[in-house]
Amino acid sequence: MNLSKKIALFSLFTTISGVIFYKIYDEMTSQAFSFQEIELRNYRFQTYDTELNESIVLSHYGILENYDSIDNSLSSLEERVQDLKRISAKVQSKNLNYLLLNLSASLQEKRDLVEQFKKDNATLKIAILNFSQTLSKIIESQKHEEVVEACLSGKFSYELTDLTNSLYRDMLVYVNTANPNLKNTLLSTIQAIRSLAEISPELLNGLLYADLILINEPKVDDIAAQIFNVKTIDALTALNSEFRSIFEQYLKQSNINKILLYIFSGILVCLLLWAVKRIQSTIAQLNAEAIERKRAQEDLRIINQELETRVKDRTQQLTTKNKDLKKTLSKLKDTQEQLVLNEKMASVGMLTAGISHELKNPLNFINNFSEASSDLLKEIKTELSEFYANPSEKTKTYLDEMIADLSVNAEKVLTHGRRADKIVENMRLHSQSTPASKALIDINKLIEEQLDLAYHNYIAQDKDFKATIIKNLDENIEKITLIPQTMGRAILNITMNALYYLQKKERLYPETFDPQIIVSTTQTNDKIVLTIRDNGLGIPQANTRKIFEPFFTTKPTDEGTGLGLSIAYDTIVKEHGGSLRVNSQEGEYAEFIIELPCQKAST
């Protein structure tokens, strides 16, 4: 048997021994309690019970003014019961728990009776006090001079005076003795007084208090007798006997456990001595193994040195490759940035034709009106020569009309010149690559400008392509803070994408298809919602999740780079803190929903 198995067996044996030793010791200590302590608590319980009974008697006869001593005795009794419950928790005995429940129930019964006693006794005390005060006043009034005058006039009743004095005297004796015979006498006296013709209201009140005393006195006596008869002491005696029986059993079992501990300790010592000898016999084997282990460690050290050298060489190779990868990654980033720039420039290039078409109209107007203005100037010079030679009203009127026409031509030239300037400025802002600052912008005006740019671009590329653009723009929405160049480029990209698929669908269904783009703006709470919906080819469901990813496109390679919608998404979401989502049904429609926060420019 090798050393590890020996150690395992010894550990197992030690563990089992410890468990057995603990079980025996726990059996001895778990139920340990002092029977003398229990007897002391039981003696105190009997003392508090006796004090409670005495306090009941003293309260009943009016010797105690309050019920503090009764409440204190009850609280002490309940504390003793809780002490007994804590001690009994160490002992697993159903009979003991049953006896404790009996004791608790009898104590609760006594408490309920005490509460009833306090209530009824208080009523009795008030009745006695009121009776005594009322009768005392009546008896005292009989000594007054008015009584003497009543006697002289023959209106005073000696029988009422005797009955009143007798009632007062007998009632005081009754409340202190509770004599049943005396109760009958009191009832007869009360009946006799009520039978008299002339009774004062004070005396009637006194008779009512007397009735109340005669009703409550037996009731209070009966409750006090019930309190005395509650068998708390009997329950305590039974509980004490059960504790004594358990304690005797505990002593017997404790002696047996001690003997077992002595035997088990002797066996354990013998086994430990045997284990020590076995351990000593393995020390030599361990020493030999230690020498062999040193040799193996030396061989391992040499192998580790060789491995470290190889690791260093491999690390150097990986470092070199990592540098090459970083250079490649840097090139990829530069390429990606160049592609984004190319996409922007491609967008500008696509707009060139539309801008040229848009600029052609105002330039034609400028040229035409300039030629007309030149002809008018020549005619004015001729008419002026004639006017100077032969002034006439007709010539003057004709000169005024030509000057007025010249003025109109100048205004037309100025108007179309400003329009051309505005188109050029919008083109410059669209192609701007440097970061621009945010400004308070009319979003409806920005949308209309970008729609015109996109639409004229497609008209310039395809003369036969026509689309209906429906604008449902809310004129009451607020101006919002945004970067007009980048936001305009985002709207332009989405609109051009819609026109692209409208053009594709029109070529598929040239006779039945009516291309439409519906653009609407609304304001809800703190957001402005822009919706661009077209009835083109739509977007397949599988592509809606990837449509905003860079370089993802469904267009042919020579028609799209996959960056237009990606740039629009970054502009709306990352740059302006808004949201961009798409709803589509393939073959039916595509709808882009832009939500922008209403944040005014800070002042």
Q: Please report, to the nearest 10 degrees, the dihedral formed by the alpha carbons of residues 437, 442, 444, 447 taken in order.
A: -20
| Cα 235 from Cα 102, distance rounded (Å) | 7
| Cα 416 from Cα 425, distance rounded (Å) | 14
Between 379 and 35, the more confident residue is 379
| Cα 443 from Cα 491, distance rounded (Å) | 11
> In the chain, what are the domain boundaries?
34-153+219-310, 326-434, 438-597
Please give the structure tokens belonging to residue 345: 């420039």
Single-letter residue type at 11 = S
Please give the structure tokens belonging to residue 204: 């009637």
pLDDT at residue number 491 = 93
- Which of 20-29, 108-117, 480-489, 579-588 bottoms out in mean pLDDT, i.e. has the lowest? 20-29
pLDDT at residue number 403 = 82
| Cα 444 from Cα 428, distance rounded (Å) | 20
Would you put residue 538 in left (φ > 0), alpha (ψ -120 to 50) or beta? Answer: left
Please classify residue 276 by burial: count the beta carbons closer than 10 Å to its beta carbon, then call 0-12 exposed, 13-18 middle and 19+ buried: exposed
What are the DSSP calls for 107-128, one per residue?
A: HHHHHHHHHHHHHHHHHHHHHH
Digit-coded pLDDT (tens) for 385-428: 777 777 777 777 877 788 888 777 777 777 777 666 656 655 55
pLDDT at 94 over 60: yes
Digit-coded pLDDT (tens) for 57-93: 777 666 776 777 777 877 877 777 777 777 777 666 7
Confidence of residue 32 (pLDDT cuts 50, 70, 90): very low
Q: Give yes or no for a contact between 519 and 447, defined as CB atoms under 8 angstroms apart.
A: yes
pLDDT at residue number 602 = 45
- Reduce the DSSP state of residue 498 to 3 states and report it: helix
- Reduce the DSSP state of residue 305 to 3 states and report it: helix
Q: Which residue has the tokens 């030509």?
A: 402
pLDDT at residue number 80 = 75
How many other β-carbons are positioned within 10 Å of the β-carbon of residue 277?
A: 8
Angle at 292 between CA 289 and CA 297, to 5 degrees: 120
| Cα 554 from Cα 539, distance rounded (Å) | 9
Report residue 560: phi and psi, to 5°.
-160, 150
Strand partners, 527: 524, 597
Q: Which of 591, 595, 592 is nearest to 579 (CA)?
A: 595
Task: Please list, in sequence order, all residues whose beta carbon lies within 8 angstroms of the beta carbon of residue 462, skipping any fewer than 6 positions away.
Answer: 503
Taking CB atoms within 8 Å and a gap of at least 24, the contacts of 458-466 are 458/354, 458/496, 458/499, 458/503, 459/354, 459/357, 460/353, 460/354, 460/356, 460/357, 461/353, 461/354, 462/503, 465/503, 465/506, 465/515, 466/515
Strand partners, 473: 521
pLDDT at residue number 351 = 52
Q: Which of 380, 382, 416 is nearest to 399 (CA)?
A: 380
Q: How far is CA 540 from CA 198, 559, 588, in A?
A: 114, 19, 11
Please give the structure tokens belonging to residue 82: 């809780």
Average pLDDT over residues 317-329: 83
Report residue 468: phi and psi, to 5°.
-95, 125
Compute the half-sphere exposure of residue 593: CA atoms within 13 Å on the CB side of its CA. Answer: 8
Average pLDDT over residues 106-112: 83
Please give the structure tokens belonging to residue 338: 């160049």
Q: Give yes or no for a contact between 484 and 576, defined as CB atoms under 8 angstroms apart.
A: no
pLDDT at residue number 431 = 52
Q: Which of 547, 340, 528, 361 is nearest to 447 (CA)?
A: 528
pLDDT at residue number 470 = 94
Report residue 479: phi and psi, to 5°.
-70, 145
Domain 438-597 in CATH 3.30.565.10? The answer is yes
Digit-coded pLDDT (tens) for 489-528: 899 999 999 999 999 999 899 889 999 999 999 998 889 9
pLDDT at 531 over 80: yes
Give the residue ranges of DSSP H helices in 142-230. 145-152, 158-177, 180-195, 201-229
